[in-house]
Structure 1
Amino acid sequence: MSDRRAELAGNLARAEERIASACAAAGREREEVTLIVVTKTYPASDVRLLHGLGVRHVAENKDQDAAPKAAECSDLDLTWHFVGQLQTNKVRSVASYADIVQSVDRLKLVRALSAAAVREGRELGCLIQVALDAESGSAGRGGVPPGGIEELAAAVDGSPGLRLDGLMTVAPLEGPYAGRQQAAFERLMEFASGVRAAHPAANMVSAGMSADLEEAVAAGATHVRVGTAVLGVRPRLG
């Protein structure tokens, strides 16, 4: 086993232990939570090693890094998540490899994603990114204010080539939920329940990262996005 594979295997095992423990504490089955490994800034070779270790969901946040990496790993059975803020001029590229776009935050982006998905002959899963700090006048980590969720959800649900999968958030750094990750994620779950009432198939809730995955699992998240805890902190590419 290579040093890097051994490092990733150990990190992955510890992340899995954390998720399993959080599920047990919350009275949930481990199978209810999907681990997405955020491979941004790390090379395709790491993606291949992770795949060999059983990882099937990976996430990227910049198209210029993600597109060549996805192409290099196109022979692997992976689900690619795009989690970064997405400019409409990058949509056509992202639609060619991403399976799920987790950062849908405006109607213009919905229209662009729909056109690109139809052009590519693909169906793109979409999550509405919710800015839980927007009600306090800030949306520093991206997303739509809670009041705009239903309009965007309906737009995605009614757009050719798109599939409404659910909601996503990043724990706010400002506003009433700053430093209160579990409360933030519980609030997201309330919004998710409202979305599911109108769109029953939209049952995905993506929340929690390396530092706060336990709080996300406790709140009910179905997917956690973990980067540093799996890939480690080391000199990065680019």
Structure 2
Amino acid sequence: MTDRRAQLAENLVRVEERISAACAAAGRKRDEVTLIVVAKTYPASDVRLLAELGVRHVAENRDQEAAPKAAECSDLPLNWHFVGQLQTNKVRSVVSYADLVQSVDRPKLVTALSGAAMRAGREIGCLVQVALDAEPGETGGRGGAAPDAVPELAAAIAGAEGLRLGGVMTVAPLAGPYAGRQRAAFERLMEISASLRAEHPAGNMVSAGMSSDLEDAVAAGATHVRVGTAVLGVRPMLR
């Protein structure tokens, strides 16, 4: 076993222990929470090792890095999640490899994703990214739509050809009333999810929590956690 493979295996065990403990504390079954490993800035060789170690969901946030990495790993049984802010001129590329786009935050992006998915003959899962630091009609500091925009965006995705409404996603905000209150932020996301599911029962995915706050996300009810640093290590450079 190579040193890197051993390191990743050890890190995955630790993360698994954290998720399992958080599920137990919340009275949830372990299989209710899916781990997504965020591989941004790390090479395709690491993704291959992760796949060997049983990881099935990986995420990227920049198309210029993700597209060649996904192509290099196209033989692996992986689900690719795009989690970064997405410009419409990158949509065609992202649709070529992403199984799910977690960062849908405006109607124009829904239209672009639908057109690209139809041309590619694919169905792309979409999450509405919710910005809990955004005022009505505004965008959050880390991307995402204000909570009041969620019903319209969800309806647009649900009605768009080539797209499938998966649910909601958020990043714990650095500003606003939820800054430093990750548990409260994720509980608010669960309320938004409940409202969405009342209209779209299949949109039951809730993506929240990262390396530093996955326990809060699991306690609130998240179905997916996005973990990078705790699995792959501190990134050599943040971009």
| Alignment partners' CA distance in 1, 2:165 and 2:158 | 5
Report deviation, 1:57. Answer: 0.1
Q: Tell me which amino acid in the other structure corresponds to 1:211.
A: S
Deviates more, 1:138-147 or 1:157-166: 138-147
Alignment-derived partner of residue 17 in structure 1:
17
Query: Which stretches of structure 1, 4 residues or more, deviate above 6 A after TM superposition?
Result: none
Partner of 1:53: 53
Partner in structure 2 of residue 231 of structure 1: 232
TM-superposed CA distance for 1:236, in Å, is 5.1
Task: After superposition, give the CA deviation of every residue in 1:130-163 in whole Å (9 maximum; x if it has no partner).
Answer: 0001139772111000010000000000000000
Q: How does 1:198-237 map to 2 (within 5 A)?
A: 198-233=199-234, 235=236
Aligned ranges for residues 37-52 of structure 1 at < 5 Å?
A: 37-52=37-52
Q: Please give the secondary structure, in 1, of the residue aligned with 2:19.
A: helix
SS in structure 2 at match of 1:134: coil
Query: For each residue in 1:4-43, what CA deviation from the matched residue of structure 2 results, as whole angstroms up to 9, or x when unmatched?
Result: 0000001110000000000000000000000000000000
One-letter amino acid of the structure 2 residue matched with residue 230 of structure 1 = V
Structure 1 residue 235, shift from structure 2 partner? 3.0
Matched, 1:35 2:35: yes
TM-score by length of 2: 0.97
Partner of 1:2: 2
1-side partners of 2:130 and 2:179: how far apart? 15
Distance 2:237 2:53 in 1: 21
Indicate if the aligned counterparts of 1:118 and 1:161 stay in contact, CA closer than 8 A: yes
Long gaps (5+) in structure 1:
none
Q: Which amino acid aligns with 2:159?
A: G
Amino acid at match of 2:109: L
Query: 1:110-121 residue pairs with structure 2 within 5 A?
Result: 110-121=110-121
Distance 2:214 2:135 in 1: 24
CA contact (8 A) 2:134 2:146 kept: yes
Distance 1:152 1:231 in 2: 33
Match of residue 144 from structure 1: 145
The separation in 2 between residues aligned to 1:89 and 1:233, in whole angstroms, is 30
Q: CA 1:167/1:227 → structure 2, altered by over 3 Å: closer, same or farther?
A: same
Matched, 1:72 2:72: yes
Aligned-residue CA RMSD (Å): 1.3
Residue 48 of structure 2 aligns to a residue whose secondary structure is helix
**Aligned partners of 2:188, 2:236: CA distance in 1, in Å?**
36
Shift of 1:173: 0.5
1:154 maps to which residue? 155
Partners of 1:40 and 1:59 within 8 A in 2: yes
For the Cα contact (< 8 Å) 1:133–1:175, is it kept in 2?
yes
SS of the residue corresponding to residue 163 of structure 1 reads strand
Residues 86-121 of structure 1: CA distance to partner in whole angstroms, max 9, x if unpaired? 000000000000000000000000000000000000
Aligned-pair CA distance for 1:237 = 9.7
Amino acid at match of 1:194: S
Partner Cα distance (1:232, 1:66) in 2? 19
Counterpart residue number, 2:167: 166
**Normalising by structure 1, what TM-score?**
0.98
* Structure 1 letter corresponding to 2:130: V
Change (3 A) 1:210 1:237: closer
User: Is 1:103 equivalent to 2:113 in the alignment?
Assistant: no
- Specify the alignment match of 2:87 in structure 1: 87
How far, CA to CA, are the matches of 1:236 and 1:68 in structure 2? 19
Sort the Cα spacing of 1:201 and 1:234 in 2 relative to 1 into closer, same or farther, 3 A.
closer
Contact 2:217 2:225 in 1 (8 A): yes
